[in-house]
Amino acid sequence: MLGAVPGRVKRAPGPQRTLDATPDSQHASGIMSQLANQIAVVTGAGRGIGRAIALKFAAEGADVVVVSRTAENSEKVASEIRALGRKAWAHALDVADGASVNSTVEKILAECGRVDILVNNAGVTRDGLLMRMSDADWDVVLNTNLRGAFLITRAFSRAMLKQRTGRIINVASISGLIGNAGQCNYSASKAGLVGFTKAAAREFAARGVTVNAIAPGFIETDMTSVLKPELREVVLKQIPLGAFGQAEDIAHGALYLAAASGRYVTGQVLTVDGGMVM
């Protein structure tokens, strides 16, 4: 997902439109759940895109391990999943802390027995112009967004490769594909995540484990809620569909890659952006 400092483009203005997302309540009865009896781990699942993915997976029959930086957010989403009739486990974790990642993954595997789907969604922004960016702002974004995905994936990889099946989905951003002024750290982390996805896909393919990325555009989340009205208008002019996306749009993409529909897809970047990158 993009942060709060968009680049400029020239495009005729147009009114913002609302794009309807199909709610889970409209899921057709009688259709077999797409993720029945599977166990998914979603990082950064305490809110926004991660929460939407966790709930979508649960609605499709998966039991979900909710990983977030705080125990409060993790348990809140886990409770929502249990209310859907699925099992859920809550873990508080800083994904950039290698020792904590390894110990948490050991606990998850002991609790769940196996993991079928891993979604690396944990991410932060520290926007600012390059010439004024501090070392700390660079480090925290790269450590969380890129190092965190590496640590989590490495920790789960042995179990996934041994079971010869699995889905790994990394949440990147169109900022990592086209760059974004004021986000050199964020763009670098997400571009790195795309390269990481493609390399890991090549390594894991022989064992039946797929690795893909989703690149969201501007999505209505806490990160974009801080945009001033005039800045929102600038952003909307960049989106051919004329509207910000919803977290559920990304969740639908993640479901496609996680379910049987994504069986023959690996090393790819699914761009969900209303047409910004084409």
Domain assignment of residue 104, yes or no: yes
Q: Would you call 40 helix, strand, or coil by DSSP?
A: strand
Is the overall model pTM greater than 0.95, yes or no? Answer: no
- pLDDT, tens digit, for every residue of 202-250? 999 999 999 999 999 999 987 667 777 888 888 899 999 999 999 999 9
Residue 148 and residue 96: Cα distance in Å, rounded? 5
Q: Which of 89, 91, 81 is nearest to 61 (CA)?
A: 81
Q: Which of 186, 196, 218, 244 is catalytic?
A: 186
Q: Which residue has the tokens 């705080």?
A: 70
- pLDDT, tens digit, for every residue of 92-137? 999 999 999 999 999 999 999 999 999 999 999 999 999 999 999 9
Domain assignment of residue 9, yes or no: no
Q: How many domains does the chain have?
A: 1
Q: What percent of the chain has pLDDT over 70?
A: 87
Instruction: Report the 10 Å Cβ neighbour count for 164.
Output: 10
Residue 100 and residue 7: Cα distance in Å, rounded? 37
Q: What is the CATH number of the domain that holds 161?
A: 3.40.50.720
With beta carbons less than 8 A apart as the criterion, state whether 220 and 19 touch.
no
Q: 242: which 2 tokens?
A: 């004329």
Q: 144: which 2 tokens?
A: 């969380």
Domain limits at 61?
Answer: 34-272
Domain assignment of residue 26, yes or no: no
Q: 10: which 2 tokens?
A: 């020239």
Indicate if 256 belongs to the active site: no
Q: Which helix (H) or strand (E) holds 92?
A: strand 88-92
Domain assignment of residue 155, yes or no: yes
Domain assignment of residue 28, yes or no: no
- pLDDT, tens digit, for every residue of 163-202? 999 999 999 999 999 999 999 999 999 999 999 999 999 9
